[in-house]
């Protein structure tokens, strides 16, 4: 029997068993011929043996069948395999979910800002304490007694403004460095060192300026001693302190970066140059007054204050910060009322009551030094830069005008750089009225602002009211205009003495120019009540909006009436105020009389009790 190749699918063992059963049935039902008719015995035996192995027939059965039956070739029937579905159950692979990075909440940011302020005030107090040590009269006297004769003579000519300040200041600084053995960072010849150097250091240690038993390169001690020495001989010197509070960023790396929260040096005023000359005591260096930023590392500079005698403080951060616009201002409190305004208010208590000519000149020099600051070298450095701006950083309500090649001050990676003064704020026509301006005739809008879905859900401030005030615009969009397209607002005139009103019966007075001609604005809570009593035509004045919970709330302040009725309303307000005042005084008088009555009755009752009962008991 010829062997046929069969292909099995994934139906399993049941399909194989069905095929074998069909073969057995076909072999058993086939009629076999006689053994001696057609085929040789050997060939027949070999083929029979193979078929026996396949069909599972025993030897005895095969011999008996050879005698009576003949073998025939039968084609196996084509039986389609039974289809079945195999389900494989796999255990679910459990992966560890990624931890979501928790953002910084507003409360955490506020707490960290408060901690920054507290640390800043602590450092300010420490600076005041060190400045007070320099004003010790006994310390100044003992340090002055150590000065050599030629330095004492030089100070007399310097006081009379007959010699320049810089040469004398250099000699004084070199002498001070020699007394304290500071040859590490200096180029001074220390071969002839005075024998009183130990005495100079001992004076500083006796007055608590140094806690070291042995002389060392204590920067703070040497700086405070030099400030006290200069004040003793009459030089105008200020103790300059750089404050390094904990950073506003919540990054731990930045918090660990600052090790010493105070950095001290000094500056002396030069009468001939009219500039403050920075000095570094530990390096015995006199710096250029027009390059004061060389005296300190700029990377982490935050706050720099200069302290004069009597604890007068002046902030000089902008003069010492060469990277003010790009780095320094980002490390400080933000320019808000609760940030930079709080810091200015804290220093106001220690500032001068008036500005002298020297202070005004110093401010002018600082403004000039800021103009020499180099341009940023990154795109992020141009964000809110006080001098330069890129068009890509303009907000939705900002445009650059005038623009063009004539107004470009440079380029950065192919993008034009404009002065910050060319960044103009654009507003809607109704928003410009709040500032007392109106759009010129024939002007077209610069930008068409579309109202988004987020605009109706977020809270707004007084500077972002365009989408709510411009309710007459269609399709939820509004045209924005620039200041160069506006002119002063011309108030409307009253028609037949009737106050104009909106749909809600009020009148919008966001600016004094919005008051109609022939009308007056009377402020006060009682004005509306007086107008109702006198039956005078009026309209409540809306002076602004308070935005919260996604909708504007109008703020009412006073009423608008005609000029003739305004005097009547004012007289009525005055009369009502006098009546309230008299009623208050009368009530107060009655209360006082009642208290005096109770006191008098109590005294009389006490005297009667003592007269009737106390004597009998005694």
Please determine, for residue 403, whether its predicted confidence score (pLDDT) is greater than 90: no
Q: How confident is the model at residue 119 (pLDDT cuts 50, 70, 90)?
A: very high
Closest CA to 330 of 249, 227, 216, 422: 249
Residue 78's pLDDT band (cuts 50, 70, 90) = low
| pLDDT score of 192 more than 80 | no
- Of 449 and 264, more confident: 264
Please report, rounded to a whole number, the percentage of residues in the chain having pLDDT higher than 70. Answer: 71
The arithmetic mean of pLDDT across residues 418-442, rounded, is: 90
Identify the band that residue 547 occupies on the pLDDT scale cut at 50, 70 and 90.
Answer: confident
* Burial classification of residue 310, based on how many CB atoms lie within 10 Å of its CB (0-12 exposed, 13-18 middle, 19 or more buried): exposed
pLDDT in tens, 145-170: 888 888 888 888 887 777 788 899 99
Assign 239 to helix, strand or coil. Answer: strand
Give per-residue pLDDT as tens, 469-523: 444 444 568 899 999 999 999 888 888 888 888 888 899 888 889 999 889 999 8
Q: Is the pLDDT of residue 300 over 70?
A: yes
**Could you tell me how many residues make up the chain?**
618
CA neighbours closer than 13 Å in the CB half-sphere of residue 120 = 22
Going along 468-529, which residue ranges are E strands?
477-480, 486-488, 506-508, 519-522
Type and span of the H or E element at 604? helix 563-609
Instruction: Please state the domain extents for the chain.
Output: 1-82, 106-371, 385-421, 429-488, 491-590
Q: Mean pLDDT in the chain? A: 77
Report pTM.
0.63
Q: Is the pLDDT of residue 411 over 80?
A: yes
| Pairwise CA distance, residues 494 & 541, whole Å | 16
* pLDDT at residue 459, rounded to an integer: 41
Token pair of 228, please? 């006290």
- Higher-confidence residue of 188 and 450: namely 450
For residues 34-46, give the mean pLDDT. 40
Find, among 537, 495, 540, the residue nearest to 516 by Cα.
495
| Torsion angle in degrees (nearest 10) through CA of 352, 354, 355, 356 | -100
Token readout for 248 is 């506003």
pLDDT band at 549 (very low <50, low <70, confident <90, very high): confident
Give per-residue pLDDT as tens, 260-295. 788 999 999 998 889 999 999 888 889 988 888 888
The label of the residue with tokens 């615009």 reads 473
Q: Which residue has the higher pLDDT, 8 or 331?
A: 331
**Can you tell me the distance from the alpha carbon of 471 to that of 385, in angstroms, rounded to the nearest whole number?**
35
Which of 49-63, 90-104, 322-336, 529-543 has the largest mean confidence? 529-543
Please state which of the four CATH numbers 3.90.260.10, 3.40.50.620, 3.40.1010.10, 1.20.1260.10 is assigned to the domain occupying 106-371: 3.90.260.10
Residue 23 has pLDDT above 70, yes or no: no
- pLDDT, average across residues 185-194: 36
Helices (H) and strands (E) in the chain, counts: 19, 19
Q: Do domains 106-371 and 491-590 have the same CATH topology?
A: no
CATH code reported for the domain at 491-590: 3.30.70.2460
Confidence (pLDDT) at 40: 42
72 falls in which pLDDT band (50, 70, 90)? low
Is pLDDT at 308 greater than 80 in this prediction?
A: yes
Whether pLDDT at 573 is above 80: yes
Mean per-residue pLDDT, 528-533:
88
Q: Is the pLDDT of residue 37 over 50?
A: no
- For residue 31, is pLDDT > 60? no
- Which residue did the predictor score with more confidence, 123 or 85? 123
Q: Residue 425: its pLDDT value, please?
A: 92
C-beta separation of 278 from 292 below 8 A: yes
Q: How confident is the model at residue 207 (pLDDT cuts 50, 70, 90)?
A: low
In this model, does residue 4 exceed pLDDT 50?
no
| Range in 81-90, 208-217, 333-342, 350-359 the model is least confident about | 208-217
The tokens of 249 are what?
């960023």
Inform me whether the pLDDT recorded for 253 exceeds 80: no
Residue 591's CB: how many other CB atoms inside 10 A?
10
pLDDT value of position 355? 86
- CA distances from residue 548 to 181, 316, 458 in whole angstroms, order as listed: 66, 39, 8
pLDDT at residue 206, as a whole number: 56
What is the predicted pLDDT for the residue at 76? 65
| 115-119, 186-190, 368-372, 512-516: least confidently modelled range | 186-190
Q: What is the mean pLDDT of residues 577-582?
A: 93
pLDDT of residue 605: 95
Which uninterrupted H or E stretch holds 175? Answer: helix 165-179
Confidence category of residue 32, pLDDT binned at 50, 70, 90: very low
Give the span between the Cα atoms of 272 and 262, in whole angstroms: 31
Q: pLDDT by residue (tens digit) across 86-107?
A: 777 766 666 767 666 676 788 8
Mean pLDDT over 330-343 rounds to: 80
Q: Kindly state the greatest CA–CA separation across the chain.
A: 170
pLDDT at 45 over 50: no
- Distance of alpha carbon 295 from alpha carbon 238, whole angstroms: 15
CA angle, corner 271, sides to 265 and 272, nearest 5? 115
pLDDT for residue 48:
40
**Which pLDDT belongs to residue 535?**
87
């Amino acid at each position: 029997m010829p062997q046929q190749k069969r292909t099995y699918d994934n139906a399993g063992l049941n399909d194989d068993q069905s095929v074998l059963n069909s073969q057995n049935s076909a072999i058993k039902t086939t009629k076999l011929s006689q053994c001696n008719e057609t085929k040789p015995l050997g060939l027949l035996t070999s083929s029979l043996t193979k078929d026996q192995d396949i069909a599972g027939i025993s030897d005895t059965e095969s011999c008996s069948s050879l005698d009576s039956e003949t073998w025939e070739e039968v084609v196996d029937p084509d039986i389609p395999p039974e289809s079945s579905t195999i389900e494989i159950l796999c255990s679910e692979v459990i992966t560890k979910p990624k931890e979501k990075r928790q953002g910084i909440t507003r409360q955490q940011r506020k707490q960290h800002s408060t901690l920054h302020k507290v640390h800043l005030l602590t450092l300010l107090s420490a600076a005041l304490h060190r400045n007070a040590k320099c004003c010790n009269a006994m310390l100044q006297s003992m340090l002055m007694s150590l000065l050599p004769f030629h330095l004492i003579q030089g100070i007399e000519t310097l006081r009379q403004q007959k010699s320049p300040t810089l040469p004398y200041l250099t000699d004084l600084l070199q002498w001070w460095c020699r007394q304290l053995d500071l040859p590490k960072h200096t180029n001074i010849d220390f071969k002839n060192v005075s024998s009183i150097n130990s005495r100079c250091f001992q004076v500083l240690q006796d007055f608590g300026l140094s806690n070291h038993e042995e002389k060392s390169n204590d920067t703070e001690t040497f700086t405070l001693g030099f400030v006290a020495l200069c004040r003793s001989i009459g030089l105008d010197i200020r103790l300059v302190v750089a404050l390094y509070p904990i950073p506003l960023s919540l990054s731990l790396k930045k918090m660990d970066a600052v090790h010493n929260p105070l950095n001290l040096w000094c500056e002396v005023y030069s009468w001939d140059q009219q500039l403050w000359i920075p000095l570094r005591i530990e390096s015995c260096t006199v710096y250029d007054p027009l390059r004061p930023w060389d005296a300190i590392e700029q990377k982490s500079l935050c706050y720099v204050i200069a302290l004069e005698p009597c604890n007068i403080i002046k902030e000089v951060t902008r003069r010492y910060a060469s990277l003010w616009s790009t780095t320094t201002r980002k490390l400080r409190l933000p320019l808000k009322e609760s940030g930079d305004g709080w810091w200015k208010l804290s220093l106001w208590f220690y500032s001068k009551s008036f500005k002298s000519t020297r202070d005004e000149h110093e401010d002018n020099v600082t403004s000039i030094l800021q103009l020499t600051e180099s341009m940023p070298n990154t795109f992020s450095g141009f964000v809110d830069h006080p001098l330069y701006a890129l068009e890509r950083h303009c907000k939705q309500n900002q445009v650059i005008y005038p623009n063009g090649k004539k107004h470009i001050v440079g380029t950065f990676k192919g993008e034009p750089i404009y002065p910050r003064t060319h960044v103009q704020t654009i507003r809607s026509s109704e928003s410009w009225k709040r500032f007392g301006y109106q759009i010129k005739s024939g002007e077209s809008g610069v930008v068409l602002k579309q109202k988004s879905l987020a605009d109706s859900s977020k809270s707004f401030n007084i500077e972002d009211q365009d989408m709510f005030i411009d309710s007459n615009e269609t399709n939820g969009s509004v045209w924005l205009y620039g200041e160069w397209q506006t002119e002063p607002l011309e108030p409307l005139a009253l028609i037949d003495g009737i106050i104009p009103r909106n749909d809600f019966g009020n009148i919008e007075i966001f600016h004094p120019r919005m008051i109609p001609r022939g009308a007056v604005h009377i402020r006060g809570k009682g004005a509306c009540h007086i107008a109702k009593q006198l039956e005078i035509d009026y309209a409540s004045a809306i002076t602004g909006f308070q935005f919260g919970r996604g909708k504007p709330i109008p703020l009412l302040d006073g009423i608008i009436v005609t000029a003739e009725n305004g005097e009547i309303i004012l007289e009525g307000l005055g009369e009502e105020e006098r009546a309230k005042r008299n009623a208050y005084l009368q009530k107060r008088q009655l209360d006082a009389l009642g208290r005096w009555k109770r006191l008098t009755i109590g005294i009389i009752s006490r005297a009667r009790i003592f007269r009737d009962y106390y004597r009998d008991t005694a």
